[in-house]
Every structure is written in C-alpha cells, then in structure tokens.
Structure 1
C-alpha cells in the first residue's frame, strides 16, 4: 500500500511482529477525555479480539492521559509537545523547539517499538507520531470523534489507510474511499453497573431523583457558575440528589464557597473516576456536548440537557447537540442562557416520568455500542493484510 518514497525514513526493520503472532499497536491520543477514552476503548477491543496484542500509548506527561492510560492497564510513553496558541504568548516561542523534539522522540519510539500500525485518536501528541509513522511506511488509522475534525486528524487524514468517524458531517474532511462511519468507541464498563449499588456508592436514596452535572474532564466555568446560582433551588426546592463534577481547577474555590451550607445531598467532585456508577445513579444529566459525552449518554440511555461549549472549532458541539435534540434524547440550552434557565429546565424534565422514559429510549436508539469492536476488527485485518498473514 505504501510507495518506496513513503519509506524515506527506513527503520521499520527486523522481523514483522504480526508475522510472528504478536500484533503491535501504537496509539497516540492526548489532552482531554474526548481523545483518551475512545483510544482506551479501542485498545480494550483489540485486546479482546486478539490475545497476542501488544499495545503502547503515546501521550504527554502534563495531561490526563498520563494517569488515565496507566489506570486502564496499558503502558504509556511521552513526547514533548503542546498546541500553538492563537493569541500572542511567550509560550509560542517554544513551539518550534517542542515540535522538532517531538518528531525526534516519535522516531525513537517507533524504531524501538516497531508497531504494525499506528492509531491516531487526536490531540497534539498524535501529530508528530502519525506523521513519522507515514514517513516510515507504517499504516496509520485515524479515529475522529467530532463532526468537525481537529487540526491534527485533518492533516493526517490524507495519508491514513482508514479514517473512522462518528458523525456524517465529518466525512467531507477526509478521502471518501478511506472513511468509515462507525460511531464513537465507548467503554463497555459504563453499562456494567447496578443502579441500586451506584446510589449506595454516593449514599443516595432510591426515592429521590438524581441530577448529574458534567463539565468535561477539565470542568466548565459557565456550568459551574449556573450551578452556584441555582443550587438552592435544585437541592432544597426540587429536593434533588446532585453529583457535580466541577473540574480540578474550580474545585477548591467551589468547596470553600459552599462550605457550611446545608447541602447534604450534594456530592461535589473535581473528577469522577467511576463514571459507570455516576451515569447509573443519574436520572438526568447536564453536560457539555462533546462527541464522547454524547456517545456515552446514548450508550447509557440517559436523558440530558446539553450546553455546547462556544469555544470549540467549527462550533461542533452545537452540531453534536442538535443531533441528540432532533432525535428526542436531549434538550439544548445555549451557554449564555444557562445561568438564567438552569433550574427551570431541570424542573420541566426531572419529575416527568413519561418524558424521562421517552428521552431515555431516544438516547439508547442512537447508541453505537460496537464501534470499538468494528474498529479493532478493521485494524487487525489491515495488519494481517500488510504482513500477508492467513488465518
């Protein structure tokens, strides 16, 4: 599949691991949970599909992947890279140095690990790794989570063997013959939790409704501000149980602000490690409309109020949210209206059993639970084809 010109960095030497029975997969993903969790789901599916699969992640030490990947049971190594800031900042002076360094590090990692394939799930870390892989003649597969692809995956797309997308809108940014719409890979563990046990984990009652607030892995300031304004109404007037994931950078201040208040049914969290139990306990979810969040809401069948971030490329979160709204799975509240409308929107939905049931079914109808397995199957087939393996 690869021309001799594409192999101008010729170091993919030695015996092919796939030919010897071991499939070696290098996965590059970093920055946010939207990139990292789908990557872990793909790794899990690869491991389930082939017992002789060796997987190595590439990330950065200063982002969530460094801890999250290890906790999921996979090895991870790092390169030194970050994004180029659009506004003028002194940090941009380091960008050329980081870029060169990351390319050298990526080359060293690939030479040492000798992967049969590289999988890019997005984030700045995927750029150098994916680019070096294609120059070495190693097949590259891309998993794009959003309706509007990130810069890294758009740049890598033309040299990829396969591009796996989750939204129809993303198809137009990649070569048509290489693109396959499969949905976003999600963690199987999200649906393996009993509701009664989940409620017990948070010391909640089955007699009250539970509201789950998610701001993404880093938290969302506007959602936090709206929650602060409406917490009395939600907790006291509506009598809700509340799990509020606010983000590590907001946690200390919020904890101080609510300290001494009588919110006995509030669980303020900087980060939620066991999302399966959080989803299972929830009757209604307030969330950003990132691609992974939408996919997880569909997989878990959770009614939601989606608040698209206004600070994302191509306004892709609004597009994600509208697809959920049009199906009847969610309500959309613009970011600049949430502070005014939060309590009213929750009140309209959370005690309406018929509406909750209808939204839950609509969310479940959107789920693509086999996305990770489909991607793993194509990756394994490609490795076998490249190495001329017959079963």
Structure 2
C-alpha cells in the first residue's frame, strides 16, 4: 500500500514554493500526494500546475496584525476550516502532514493533530511567522532555514536544514532567457521581482529610472498581478505580472536581481549565484522578518540592502551601482555556500515521521 502525504501552506507564493519543490520527489517515489489550501488563494493556482496532486480547498481566515472588521469574522472561518480539515484528513488518512505555513495551514495542522497524524513544519524566516508560532506546539518536527532561527525556537523539535530549492530552477538556460525576452547579448540584464503580489513602490522606482537604466542595462520586470503599465513600450524593457514555466531561463539570463527579501526567493538566487539588491518589506507593513533576512545575507556578503524607508530614485541608483561594482566578490562568496543536501535531509525527516505513525 502506498504511503500518503498531505501538504499545506498558502497565502503567498513563498508559502507554496517549498511544497512545489518537494512534491515531485514524493510522486516519483510512489507516494499518494494531497494538498489542502484555501479555496481561491494563490496556492490553488500554483498547485493546479503540479501533476498527480489532489487539491482540496477549505474555509480560512487571515491572521492579521492590524485592526479590521474582518478580524471579527475570521475566527468563525478558522473554526469552520478546522472542521473541514479534520474531516478531509480522516478521509485521506495521510501518514504525515508537511506544513509550509501561512494562515491556511493553521486549521490543517489542528485537524492533523486531532487525527493523530505526525506534522512536519518548515519555517523559512529567521523568526517564526504567526501561523507557525501557533502550530509549533502541535508539530512533531520544525525544519528551519536559517541557523539563527534556533535561537528563537526554544525546543528540541527544531532542526536546522537550510533552504529547499526547486530542481527546475537549476535547469535554466541564459540563451533561451534572452531569446524569450528579445534581449541582446551586449548589455547586462537586471531582473526585478517584488514578490508574487508585487510592490507598487519598487515598481514605481524602476519605471521612474528606466531612461537612465536602459542606457547601460536591460530590465526584465516581474511586477505582480494587475501591476503592468501598458503605456510603457521601450527597447530593453519587458514587464510581466508573473512568470512560471520560463522563470528558470529568465533567472539564468539575469546578471543581478532587485528583489524583496522573502526567504525562499533569496535562497534560490543564492543557489543560482545571482547577486541581489534586497529591498525588504518595511516594519510598518510586516513583522520585520524580511529586514532580518536581508541583514543576514548582507552580513554573509551575498547582497546589498536598501531599506524601503530609504528608497528614493537617487538611493536606488546608488545602491544598484554599488551592487554591480561588488558583483564578482558577491558571486565568489555565493560559490562557497553549499545547500545541495537540504531537500534530501527534509525528505528523510518526513519519511521518519511517517514510519512512526
């Protein structure tokens, strides 16, 4: 009889990409794979493109850190989600649950615990997110990406594994990427990514500076859903809401990357040796996790950092020039970082938990 694994996680692409990296390994090993996410969240869209996965949508609230009338409705949605997850898990009968976090994961983790199913949690950031903080007491094991995270989780459940990188990103071809973008070989390429939902401030800064940037560089701009500017038609500039199938080729073609500091993305760029200018989400818009991620990468010599509060047209150009000046040293630092065994280590932990059940 095949082993069964249930994945959960959602709310942003960062809460799905690790699952997308792991799922093909379990499918190839003959496991039955299911996924519980929200009904209309980004995870439902991303997982629909992954073969051999049974997707189930449940009701879920959002764990907000600010006042909203929705906060009074969300507890009822979460309770409904717990009942739905509990019933689904009784039906699916997974041997283990792997949770990447995000607000949708909380009902699933509770439902798994009520069904006595082992739970492996993955935390990408230096400090645990709210969903994972809630789930941690229920978990069998917590895998962390940064060694510093062990200082924030005072439990023998936590183990440092490093970052999980999608295999397909390593197969990118720079020539194919430039061909897709209609870019020439003679100018370096800047890849701009503001996260799956995009960043209006980063997008605006890039567009304000296009006349200057395009004198020396070509720019591929992944600007987020609904954030394309249809009025811009310039040689050497391509904009997309999102890139999926061709992303590995586009990244391979890039010389440097301007991006937020979400853990999954920056570790992928690290694995691919792409120097980064990190513009983390401000503390006003987040719990400050991206700032800590960015500071860790800057300290290791993998990136330059520009805080969003300090982002202007002038500071952006200065920081980009500094990144390009230090580019080779950053690449040299990146080549010394080894994270090749992470995914195998996580799979072993999942398999071990499943055998206990």
Q: TM-score, normalised by structure 1?
A: 0.86
**Equivalent in the alignment of 1:118:** 97
Judge which range, 195-204 or 143-152, deviates more: 195-204
* Aligned twin of 1:315: 288
- 1:218–1:195 distance in 2 versus 1, CA, 3 Å: same
- The 10-residue stretch of structure 1 (91-100 or 318-327) with the greater mean CA deviation from structure 2: 91-100
Local SS of the residue matching 1:248? coil
Alignment partner, residue 208 of structure 1: 187
Give the deviation of 1:159 after TM superposition. Answer: 2.1
Greater mean alpha carbon deviation, residues 282-291 or residues 320-329: 320-329
Q: Distance in 2 between matches of 1:330 and 1:367?
A: 17
CA spacing shift, 1:85–1:378, aligned 2, 3 Å: closer
Equivalent runs, 1:303-382 vs 2, <5 Å: 303-311=275-283, 313-339=286-312, 340-350=314-324, 352=325, 355-382=326-353
Q: Distance in 2 between matches of 1:156 and 1:144?
A: 11
CA contact (8 A) 1:285 1:304 kept: yes
Q: Which residue of 2 aligns with 1:14?
A: none
Q: Which has the larger radius of gyration?
A: 1
2:255 is the counterpart of 1:283: yes
**Pairwise CA distance, 1:367:** 4.7
Deviates further, 28-37 or 330-339:
330-339
- What is aligned with 1:247? 224
Corresponding residue number in structure 2 for 1:56: 34
Structure 2 unmatched ranges of 5 or more: none
Deviation for aligned residue 1:175: 4.6
Contact 1:56 / 1:75 at 8 angstroms: preserved in 2?
Answer: yes
User: Does structure 1 conserve the Cα–Cα contact (< 8 Å) formed by 2:125 and 2:289?
Assistant: yes
Match 1:219 to one of 198, 208, 213: 198
Distance change >3 Å, CA 265–CA 189, structure 1 → 2: same
Are 1:80 and 2:80 an aligned pair? no
Query: What is the Cα deviation at residue 245 of structure 1?
Result: 0.9
- 1:76-122 per-residue CA deviation (whole Å, 9 max, x = no partner) reads 11111121444433323321321121011101110110000111110
Distance 1:35 1:367, change over 3 A: farther
The answer to whether the Cα contact below 8 Å between 2:195 and 2:259 also exists between their aligned partners in 1 is: yes
Quote the Cα distance in structure 2 between the aligned partners of 1:218 and 1:367. 30
Higher relative contact order, chain-length normalized (CA < 8 Å, sep 6+): 1
Alpha-carbon distance, 1:255 to partner: 2.2
Alignment of 1:291-310 (within 5 A): 291-310=263-282
Q: Which moved more, 1:163-172 or 1:82-91?
A: 82-91
Q: CA deviation at 1:298?
A: 0.9
Q: Which moved more, 1:29-38 or 1:221-230?
A: 221-230
Deviation at 1:266, TM superposition (A): 0.5
TM-score by length of 2: 0.94
Could you list the per-position Cα deviations for residues 147-189 of structure 1 after superposition, in whole angstroms to 9, with x for gaps in the alignment?
1111111111122111000012322343532111111211011
Residue 94 to residue 108, structure 1, CA distance change in 2 (3 Å)? same
Kept in 1, the 8 Å contact 2:63–2:103? The answer is: no
Partner-residue secondary structure (3-state), 1:176: coil
Q: Distance in 1 between matches of 2:16 and 2:34?
A: 13
CA contact (8 A) 1:80 1:101 kept: yes
Change (3 A) 1:309 1:23: same
CA contact (8 A) 2:172 2:251 kept: no
Alignment size in residue pairs: 353
The aligned residue for residue 3 of structure 1 is none
The residue number in structure 2 matching 1:140 is 119
